[in-house]
Amino acid sequence: MFKLRPLMLATTFVTTLALSTAVAPVLAEESEQSEQLPLEELRMFAEVFGRIKSAYVEPVTDEQLLEDAIRGMVAGLDPHSSYLAPDDFGSLQESTSGRFGGLGIEVGMKDGFIHVISPIDDTPASRAGLQSGDLIIKIDDTPVQGMGLTEAVDLLRGEIGTSVRLSIMRDSADTPFEVEIERAAIKSTSVKSRLLADGYGYVRISQFQANTGEELNKALEKVSEAEPLKGLVVDLRNNPGGVLQAAVDVSDAFLKEGRIVYTEGRLERSELSFDAKADTAVPMETPVIVLINGGSASASEIVAGALQDQQRAVILGTQSFGKGSVQTILPLSEDRGVKITTARYFTPSGRSIQAQGIVPDVVVERRSMTDADTPEVDIVRERDLTGHLENGDESKPLAEELSGEDFQLYQAYTLLKALNIVSKR
């Protein structure tokens, strides 16, 4: 059974539909009350409590009223603070371990609708084509406008193997469309890797879980086992956050010194600072490009901000989500607690990411290269001549493959090659 302990969170607003919650253990301390209780407001609370008990159309228990009051009080603080009932604790533990049930999306509220912050790789949501920025306007036949996030999440949850029908609004679509998704047990691997070409590696981090740092080291060994890396692309697109310590570990793999991230808050122990160790998993002379977009949030922004400020990597893509606050879980009992915002985090240079995000060094929008974009499309080459001799290797050129399937990655790859050439000269 999951035993409650205080936790510090650096993540987007988390539901059990989605990913790992950024978790780094920290001692949560209760601040001493410096002011007297507001007696007039407490009298009003007691009066409302009594009026509901006596006049509401149906009987309501004291326990239900008080729990609802706590939930409303915490939810009114900001989008990332919430009251955690027993079920929420179980979901939190599952999500941070990388094994949990649901659709595989990170969600929040926007304009009264459910906002998809990011789908998680290799989950029902990503396979169904959900995208960062989508708005869920109906769940099955129930409109979500005006509905609380918790209520909406309860509708999205369900037995593994059952389906839910979502009505989606997307900026690029003229009208809403429906997607049916089958709920599943989510078992996600946070790091994947492959070679883009000889000496050029690609590492995709879909979320920051407790073991992501270890997974990254294994992935780096894999892509560099044939020959030393000439360059590396680290893909953080649509990575909505995760374990704070994992973000530190990932940053530390590329840095040999200097600050990675620090936090500032009202509680003394909410002020933390993390610095890089001398050992690096990637040699400092190896060019690194980090891919981000609007679905990159929280822990992803910690990594991107650290590597950008330390001038260790070129950040490429589009502006990130902008979630720069830290949440701490304060226990109320063995199976209940509150998750409240206790600090903001800052990049090494002192930038606050909150509501701003990381601005890429090189802005590249999501798109695909069309024939009209391809230079010299009408030039006749040797391979176009009838009866030409074959090369012996008929595999499709990597650049051509990437330009069609992932334009941002294609741009990162070409920039890596350029950086490698310049460094040699």
Q: How far apart are CA 418 and CA 85, in angstroms?
A: 53
Q: Which helix (H) or strand (E) holds 10?
A: strand 7-11
Q: Six-digit token pair at 21? A: 């919650």
The catalytic residues are: 298, 309, 323
Q: How far apart are CA 312 and CA 52, in angstroms?
A: 59
Question: Which residue, chain included where needed, has tokens 């410096």?
Answer: 34
Pair 295, 303: CB distance under 8 Å: no
Question: Which residue, chain included where needed, has tokens 């050029």?
Answer: 200
Q: How far apart are CA 375 and CA 158, in angstroms?
A: 51
Instruction: Give the total residue count for the chain.
Output: 425
Q: Six-digit token pair at 117? A: 């912050």
- Which residues does residue 10 pair with via DSSP β-bridges, in sequence order? 242
Residue 216 identity: L
Q: How far apart are CA 110 and CA 108, in angstroms?
A: 7
Question: Which residue, chain included where needed, has tokens 């510090």?
Answer: 8
Residue 361, phi-psi category: left (phi > 0), alpha (psi -120 to 50), beta (remainder): alpha
Question: Which residue, chain included where needed, has tokens 């209940």?
Answer: 336
